[in-house]
Amino acid sequence: MEISYASPSASSLASSNSALSSMPSSTRPVKVIPLQHPSTTSSSSPAGGYSAGVLVKKWTGKVKQMTWINWMELLLPCSRWIRTYKWREYLQSDLLSGITIGIMLVPQAMSYAKLAGLQPIYGLYSGFLPLFVYAFFGSSRQLAVGPVALVSLLVSNVLGGIVNSSEELYTELAILLALMVGVLECVMGLLRLGWLIRFISHSVISGFTTASAVVIGLSQVKYFLGYDVSRSSKIVPLIESIIAGADGFLWAPFIMGSVILAVLQIMKHLGKTRKHLRFLRVAGPLTAVVMGTTLAKVLNLPSISLVGDIPQGLPKFSVPKSFEHVKSLIPTAFLITGVAILESVGIAKALAAKNGYELDSNQELFGLGVSNVVGSFFSAYPTTGSFSRSAVNHESGAKTSLSQIVTGIVMGGALLFLTPLFEHIPQCALAAIVISAVITLVDYDEAIFLWRINKKDFLLWVITAITTLFLGIEIGVLIGVGVSLAFVIHESANPHMAVLGRLPGTTVYRNIQQYPEAYTYNGIVIVRIDAPIYFANTSYISDRLREYEVEVDRSTGRGPDVERVYFVVIEMAPVTYIDSSAVQTLKDLYQEYKLRDIQIAISNPNRDVLLTFSRSGVVELIGKEWFFVRVHDAVQVCLQHVESLKETTKRPVSSPNDASTYIQRLVKSRNEDLSVSQLESGFQKLPSSNEIDPQLEPLLSRNP
């Protein structure tokens, strides 16, 4: 619906122009879309959101509509794929991928346990029962759960500062940490707090994982060199320890480890680049174990240390101990939970999108938590989803979580029957598996990409990587997240704003910096605010508005020839929220403009923002007639006021001869108004920019 009205006289803008009210206006009526002002008494919900009662009512209504199938899918996500399982299509793929991941996980689990400072058997325990639990409670159908390098490094880093890894307390604390991480993940999943991790940017994660990969690699070098290296998460102590112990260097483990590492890298490269050799990527860890064991038994060199005795059999139920150390483990539990969310949920969402099903990140977080809680009662240390194994699981054709169950069965078979064979695995072979796995985490390609795309993100990547390397993992993550939040706060406190101009031949207004052909109108400044307005950015926004008032580019201006700004039109379509500080700032700005005879016009505020304006008295202060649906409507009304101001300064004296041409002017004005109405309603074809005559601009005065 449109309404037509003639603009009020310009006397409302300045008390000094009171004489204008008695003069007839020569401007044509303006057609604008009326803005619907919400009633402040008809809605009980607060501006900017829903009341608690509305949210509770909405939630209870949703619960009442849930069927027993919905409840089953909520409590046991596995029921979603069990009900629709296609045995003939899916079973073979799930069996093959499950066996593939099992072959890959057995040597990796032992390697990551050594990285965590634990005996290899605890890696096998961590890769057994948590897989079954996750298959029932997790929502991802391709995510491969188990021990991972990054979490193992975090466990080693925190526990190494509390107790020596050779003591029984070390193992008890690692198992307790799994319980704490699981409880934390379950709580965050139930409270739907997974969104908190969104504040950790991808640049922080990339820089953190790159630095962690370097630290992990250096920590495993000791098995290649043949002598002990001090345990540390900082690069300087590691390098100093490596250099200090150079006298104890042994050639045998170095050559064996280097050869195995080279074989792993070659197999991984061929598996990635040649489709028909994809199996080599999966068989790499197993090949390393077989090769190392064979060489160790054949050569029988005393300088090559072996894994040693590994208990045979499935893990037994036991309650985690040493709860008196819970307080010292809380920061690490939060850190591991954050890494788990970022590593697991990130790849789980990507795999869900590729396989055409939806994934609830909070349900996924709850599934990971339950698997860690249950695993802690069966001697498992913290687990999460693995990037590499999940990718292989997807490439192997896994369709459902049945592949995880098959992998768990393979791990159970290894625990029952194969552990005596693992006693002769060289330590350098397990170290080569770890180093080969973390090499892919060194994400220098991401750093190059960030340098080309966004220097600020590149700086964030560098800061996180350097601080993690030199100051440690916890401090590196904290500094990276802190700088990331500082960038977010800076962007929020200094939002993007733009001066808008009209695109030729349209009623569309766009940023004049982005569209140089867009033109402005003399006496009117149109500003778009591209962010919510709240206490942190009100000062910046008001300062920019004052700058726009002064820095007017008259070279692109059209319309009446006036020397200053009379109207400031604020486009508020992108403004989703406004707080009380912003309301007060707008009131102060209105009073400041009023002293300089400048009128504010508001364009296209959303319902919540408009309701805040109504309740705070801003609508009454500025006037309902200065709130518009479109920028174009605001410009039409403001432009008529500017024309009226110009006419009062130089209005020609009427003469009797003018009466003879009155009918001609009336007919011409009628035809032009009809043309404008057709253009704005979309029934008339828009002319090209070359065909537009500034003298025929529909909002400007017509000169006969």
Handedness of CA 464, 466, 467, 473 (dihedral sign): positive
pLDDT for res 41: 59
Q: How far is CA 342 from the centre of its chain?
A: 10
Q: Is 423 strand, coil or helix?
A: helix
d(CA 335, CA 506): 54
Question: Per the structure block, which two tokens stand in for 428?
Answer: 């350098």
| 420 and 529 together in one domain | no
Q: How far is CA 475 from CA 154, 463, 489, in A?
A: 12, 11, 21
d(CA 33, CA 524): 20
d(CA 70, CA 335): 33
Question: Per the structure block, which two tokens stand in for 30?
Answer: 């303006």
Low-confidence residues of the chain: pLDDT under 50? 1, 4-27, 43-50, 653-663, 665-704
| Plot region of 27 (φ>0 → left; ψ -120 to 50 → alpha; else → beta) | beta
d(CA 546, CA 361): 45
| Plot region of 489 (φ>0 → left; ψ -120 to 50 → alpha; else → beta) | alpha
| 578 and 453 together in one domain | no
The Cβ of residue 554 has, within 10 Å, a number of other Cβ atoms equal to 10
pLDDT for res 530: 95
> Bridge partners of 4?
31
- Contact at 8 Å (CB) between 573 and 608? no
| 480 and 523 together in one domain | no
Does 111 fall in a domain? yes
d(CA 691, CA 689): 5
Of the three residues 487, 517, 544, the one that is the final residue of a domain is: 487
Does 463 fall in a domain? yes
- In 3-state terms the chain splits into helix, strand, coil percentages (rounded to 5) of 65, 5, 30
Residue 36 phi/psi, 5-degree rounding, is -85, 115
Measure the CA dihedral 123/128/133/138, to 10°.
70
Does 286 fall in a domain? yes
Q: Is 297 strand, coil or helix?
A: helix
Return the DSSP state at 598: -
What value does the CA radius of gyration of the chain take, rounded to a whole number of Å? Answer: 35
Of the three residues 460, 487, 514, the one that is the final residue of a domain is: 487
| 474 and 512 together in one domain | no
First to last CA, the chain: 32
Q: Is 568 strand, coil or helix?
A: strand
Return the DSSP state at 627: E
Task: Say what angle helices 129-137 and 361-376 make with each other, to 10 degrees.
Answer: 150
Does 60 fall in a domain? no
> Degrees (nearest 5) of the Cα angle 117, 121, 125?
105
> Degrees (nearest 5) of the Cα angle 465, 466, 470?
120
Question: Per the structure block, which two tokens stand in for 477?
Answer: 């993550």
| 481 and 502 together in one domain | no
Half-sphere exposure of 377 toward its Cβ, with a 13 Å CA cutoff? 9
Which residues constitute the domain of residue 562?
A: 495-648
Q: Is 503 strand, coil or helix?
A: coil
| 437 and 530 together in one domain | no
- Contact at 8 Å (CB) between 144 and 389? yes
Selection from 501, 497, 482, 502 nearest residue 544 by Cα: 497
| 318 and 450 together in one domain | yes
Residue in the block written with tokens 């042994």: 250
The Cβ of residue 459 has, within 10 Å, a number of other Cβ atoms equal to 15
Return the DSSP state at 419: G
- What DSSP element (H or E) covers 272? helix 251-273
CATH number at residue 559: 3.30.750.24
Return the DSSP state at 198: G
Does 81 fall in a domain? no
| 422 and 509 together in one domain | no
| 374 and 272 together in one domain | yes
pLDDT for res 52: 57
Q: Strand 557-558 and strand 599-603: pairing? A: unpaired
| 260 and 371 together in one domain | yes
Does 685 fall in a domain? no
Of the three residues 470, 487, 504, the one that is the final residue of a domain is: 487
Overall number of domains in the chain: 2
Does 229 fall in a domain? yes
Give per-residue burial for 261-280: e unless 16+ CB within 10 Å, then b.
Answer: bebbeebbebbeeeeeebeb
Half-sphere exposure of 407 toward its Cβ, with a 13 Å CA cutoff? 40
pLDDT for res 78: 83
Half-sphere exposure of 122 toward its Cβ, with a 13 Å CA cutoff? 26
Question: Per the structure block, which two tokens stand in for 154?
Answer: 């975090």
- Contact at 8 Å (CB) between 148 and 342? no
Q: Strand 384-385 and strand 145-146: pairing? A: antiparallel
Does 687 fall in a domain? no
- Contact at 8 Å (CB) between 48 and 612? yes
> Bridge partners of 162?
none
Strands, E, within 357-419: which ranges? Answer: 384-385
Selection from 670, 573, 557 nearest residue 631 by Cα: 573
Burial bucket for residue 221 (CB in 10 Å: 0-12, 13-18, 19+): middle
Give per-residue burial for 559-587: e unless 16+ CB within 10 Å, then b.
Answer: bbebeebbbbbbbbeebebbbeebbebbe
Task: Say what angle helices 427-439 and 202-220 make with each other, to 10 degrees.
Answer: 160
Return the DSSP state at 533: B
| 471 and 524 together in one domain | no
| 413 and 519 together in one domain | no
- Contact at 8 Å (CB) between 517 and 556? no
